[in-house]
Structure 1
Amino acid sequence: MTPKPTAAEVKANLIEAAIRLLSDGGPEALQARKLAAEIGASTMAVYTHFGGMSALVDEVAREGFRRLSANLGEVEETDDPAADILTLALAYRRTVVDNPNLYAVTFGQSQPDGQKAALGDMTNEETRQNLSDEGIEAFDYLVRGAKRVIEAGRFRPAPEFSVAAQLWSAVHGYITLEVAGHFGDGENGVDHILVPLATALGVGLGDALEAATRSAQVSIEAWRAKEGNIGT
């Protein structure tokens, strides 16, 4: 006889089911009835384990941040912190492009079943303590990256939270437009928009054009080699 799943297992199954529904059908597919059917339970499972759809959407957003953090954490630091910033951006892009509907919920751009994930100001050291640990962890990869570039003298001295937020804004804005289909298919936008954008932003933050261009080239070549996309 198959043992009855624990409460923790049911919660995890509901979160995974929610992510599948988002991936396959978009935010409109994320409904209590469909979630329950996905795991072979009644709709009461959602309310028993989460109290309602609002808390479940928050947990889905947390899982989105967990996955983003895991991918950002795989970016190895090199002796070129400016190149590492672009590599973080490429890892960020890959994560979102692989499941754009999940990240539309994670970043509050869509509201399944009328519910929006709880968000707040990650750039304020005081108020961000009220936010999810998962969201803070993901953003802090950019904060650490910004701090390393500043300390290396490549960017002019500035608060690393502000610099990280500028980098985040540029990268996320690019990804949002790419996912919407504005930059064509495949890697076209990476070469013609994201890399020049990162270079221009680096120069604006104090880097020398030649150094910024070289770091961008180092990053994209290493990323393509790792991803097996050389020549694309």
Structure 2
Amino acid sequence: MTPTSPRAATRAPHHAQYDETLRRGILDEATRRLRDAAPETLGLRPLAASQGTSTTAIYTMFGGKTGLLAAVAVEADQQLAAALRDSLRYDSVESDMRSLCRTYRRWALENEGLYGLVVGEPVRTPRAGTVDALWREPLLEVVDAAVDEGVFRSGDVHETATTIWASLHGVVSLELSVWRSSPSAEQYFETQLAAILRSWAAGSAGGAARHGATGTDGVAR
């Protein structure tokens, strides 16, 4: 029998510690650090050190920084989806739509770094490829109910939901980048939300522009 080399003997127990508990710890800590920070600010060495391990563990379990960011994006997607789902009370589609949109804004403001990971690009993982975003499901559900109940005019549900999201993302992105310290930021959002609901209301044949002009700051009036 070939004797085990001292080097191999010391390495095996180390890799044996790369378990789900360590993976979860790294992922949770990375998610916490990226809550309000850009992806490029995440350092792998200090992250690994915070979990009592080395960067080898991150490369072994996540495939490096790209794989780790993809895992954080999936985690953030699940968190946003849960927040949106929890905002629904199912008393009326109008109130659910308002509540969902306001929760979307609040989550983005409280998790700016994660928000960029969730909506910036399609979430991709090294093994699974592109991952369907879970956070879209509550929005699709509410839009589908609004069309079904005649609150929104008939149309393709996916197209309607995508258009509504585009408006939400636009006004939220402006708040994050331009209006963050403005006392009028919330009112800008509420004005845009009212315009969104009017533009898709049953009997409306056009967009928000039919109900008022768009100001120079980009918010529909």
TM band (smaller chain): 0.7 to 0.9
Q: Quick check: 1:118 aligned with 2:115?
A: no
For 2:185, the equivalent position in structure 1 comes to: 189
SS in 1 for 2:135: helix
After superposition, what is the alpha-carbon deviation per residue over 1:17-63, rounded to whole angstroms, capped at 9, x for unaligned? 21232236532321221221221211101111112111111100001
Kept in 2: contact 1:54–1:117 (CA 8 A): no
Q: Specify whether residues 24 and 172 from structure 1 end up closer, same or farther in structure 2 by C-alpha distance, changes over 3 A only.
A: closer
**Paired residue for 1:100, among 108, 112, 120?**
112
Superposed displacement of residue 166, structure 1 = 1.1
| In structure 2, distance between residues paired with 1:183 and 1:104 | 15
The two structures, once aligned, show a CA RMSD in angstroms of 2.6
TM-score, length-normalised on structure 1?
0.71
Q: Specify whether residues 39 and 163 from structure 1 end up closer, same or farther in structure 2 by C-alpha distance, changes over 3 A only.
A: same
Structure with the larger RCO, 1 or 2 (CA within 8 Å, 6+ apart): 1
TM-score, length-normalised on structure 2?
0.75
Stretches of structure 2 that go unaligned for 5 or more consecutive residues are: 1-15, 205-221
Kept in 2: contact 1:156–1:205 (CA 8 A): yes
Q: How many residues align?
A: 187
For 2:135, the equivalent position in structure 1 comes to: 138
Kept in 2: contact 1:57–1:117 (CA 8 A): no
**Paired residue for 2:199, among 190, 195, 204?**
204
For 2:80, the equivalent position in structure 1 comes to: 68
Q: Which structure has the highest helix share of the two?
A: 1
Kept in 2: contact 1:154–1:207 (CA 8 A): yes
Q: Specify whether residues 185 and 138 from structure 1 end up closer, same or farther in structure 2 by C-alpha distance, changes over 3 A only.
A: same
| In structure 2, distance between residues paired with 1:71 and 1:160 | 21
**Paired residue for 2:95, among 79, 83, 103?**
83
Kept in 2: contact 1:64–1:102 (CA 8 A): yes
Amino acid corresponding to residue 172 of structure 1 in structure 2: H
| In structure 2, distance between residues paired with 1:25 and 1:51 | 21
SS in 2 for 1:23: coil
For 1:7, the equivalent position in structure 2 comes to: 19
Kept in 1: contact 2:152–2:202 (CA 8 A): yes
Percentage of identical aligned residues: 26
Q: Specify whether residues 52 and 130 from structure 1 end up closer, same or farther in structure 2 by C-alpha distance, changes over 3 A only.
A: closer
Amino acid corresponding to residue 32 of structure 1 in structure 2: L
For 2:218, the equivalent position in structure 1 comes to: none
| In structure 2, distance between residues paired with 1:200 and 1:207 | 14
Superposed displacement of residue 208, structure 1 = 6.7
Which deviates more from structure 2 when the two are superposed, residues 40-49 or residues 175-184?
175-184
**Paired residue for 1:43, among 31, 38, 55?**
55
Stretches of structure 1 that go unaligned for 5 or more consecutive residues are: 110-115, 120-128, 210-232
Q: Specify whether residues 14 and 196 from structure 1 end up closer, same or farther in structure 2 by C-alpha distance, changes over 3 A only.
A: same
Q: Rg larger in 1 or in 2?
A: 2
